[in-house]
Amino acid sequence: MTSRKAQPASITEYIKAAPKEAQKKLREMRACIRASAPGAKESLKWGMPAFSHRRILVTFAAHKHHIGFYPTPSAVKAFANDLSKFYTARGSIQFPFEKPLPLPLIRKITAFRVRESVEQDKKWRTGRRTIPVMNPKA
């Protein structure tokens, strides 16, 4: 019978369970994101470290050869020029282990996501619209 490894229950446990070569970069990512989104709640979403403020702002994860950063497609699009040195997909960015993390860029992207979240929430909090009810006797 094989025993399954326990899934991490916190970001700290996630980082401790990650490969040694990834741990330092994961701690750097966490500190950088935490500084850019001070009111955000830390949790694990889809098994990855996540920061949320009313909605998920960003997630990140250790992979075999890189750190994956997942700030949403809108953020990747908004910073496309700054991200030209990195492999990106629709909503993800790969930071290779052999290169230093671009911490100022990660801060800017996280701050963008915080602003975007607040602006989107304002759109949803405009009050209730009433829908006219048809007169059934007409």
SS (H, E, C) the chain: CCCCCCCCCCHHHHHHHCCHHHHHHHHHHHHHHHHHCCCCEEEEECCEEEEEECEEEEEEEECCCEEEEECCHHHHHHCCCCCCCCEEECCEEEEECCCCCCHHHHHHHHHHHHHHHHHHHHHHCCCCCCCCCCCCCC
pLDDT tens-digit map of 47-70: 999 999 888 999 999 999 999 999
pTM: 0.82
Sequence spans of domains, the chain: 22-108
* CATH number of 22-108, picked from 1.10.357.10, 3.30.200.20, 3.90.1150.200, 3.30.70.20: 3.90.1150.200
pLDDT tens-digit map of 23-45: 999 999 999 999 999 889 999 99
